[in-house]
Structure 1
Amino acid sequence: MTFAYRLAALALAAGVAAPAIALADGKSQFNDNCSACHQVTGKGVKGAFPALAGSPLVQGDPQLLTTTVLNGRAGMPAFKDDLSDTDLSAILTYVRSSWGNKAPPVKPADVAKARVAAKAGAKARGLQAH
């Protein structure tokens, strides 16, 4: 059983809403994977790592944001091999609803869809005529 499912089971037993637990897990995952660059405040580091607080990318199209995190961009590492759909969903939902951001959650199924699309796009780019 994954960590997120154990948290949800504990939440049900304790009478705590599961979305609150998922948001807490997203915060924990963000702190573990993203805060070194984007900071726990979401303000980033000027000139080096972009702010996530108030970011149009963060609050915009969730598929574009998800694809960016899966594949990386500029100096940002790709997380496609490091994070599950559930973990990435939790992180993105946390980021999209923190520091004044007010964007809808990202579901694990949305991450799975973006992952499949990103893989298909990578294979298509690899087919070049010589």
Structure 2
Amino acid sequence: MRLTIPLAAVLVLCAAPAFAAPDGKELFADNCSACHQLTGKGIPGAFPALAGSKVAQGDPKEPVTRVLKGRGGMPAFGADLSDLEIAKVLTYVRSSWGNKGKPVQPAQVTALRVAKVTGPKSSVLAH
């Protein structure tokens, strides 16, 4: 009987990672890599590279807006991803493949999501 409780604890601890929220790399792989590739190099002539992208690394307003609303052939993810998930995936993009962009905070995504509905806001994104 004494082995039952420790064994149950070990099983719960081992199973815990299966319930962990996906990180930016996983979100990118699941939602973005088909077009932008796992390498971030995109597909020339079809899907832009994110590796070395000035847009991806610059003012976070532009990439956040593109992910929320879509652009050109890129689908909108605003209805599919939470603000936290968008922040995670963009932080991953902005810090991968040699990119040197600052992290995106969920509050920055929320501000742009709300601004889309209520109109322009003051610069919440300037950090």
TM-score, normalised relative to structure 2 = 0.75
The question of whether the paired residues in 2 share the 8 Å contact of 1:67 and 1:118 is answered with: no
Residue identity in the other structure for 2:61: Q
For 1:105 and 1:44, locate their aligned partners in 2 and report how far apart those are by CA, in whole Å.
21
* Cα distance in 2 between the residues matched to 1:30 and 1:92: 8
Corresponding residue number in structure 2 for 1:79: 77
How far is the alpha carbon of 1:25 from its aligned partner?
Answer: 0.6
Q: Contact 1:96/1:102 (CA < 8 Å) preserved in 2?
A: yes
In structure 2, what is the Cα distance between the partners aligned to 1:62 and 1:115? 13
Please report the RMSD computed on the Cα atoms of aligned residues, expressed in angstroms: 1.8
Q: What residue is the counterpart of 1:6 in the other structure?
A: none
Unaligned residue ranges in structure 2 (runs of 5+): 1-12, 14-19, 120-127
Which residue in 2 is equivalent to 1:105? 103
Consecutive unaligned residues in structure 1, runs of 5 or more? 1-9, 11-20, 122-130
> How far did 1:120 drift?
3.0
**Hey, what's the Cα distance between the residues in 2 that align with 1:42 and 1:96?**
11
- Matched residue SS, 1:103: coil
Q: Which has the higher helix share?
A: 1
In the TM superposition, what is the alpha-carbon distance from 1:119 to its structure 2 partner?
2.4
Q: Deviations over 1:26-79 (max 9, x none)?
A: 000000000000000000000000000000100111011101110000000000
Between Structure 1 and Structure 2, whose CA radius of gyration is higher?
A: 2
1:82 CA displacement:
0.3
State how many pairs are aligned.
101
* Equivalent position of 2:24 in the other structure: 26
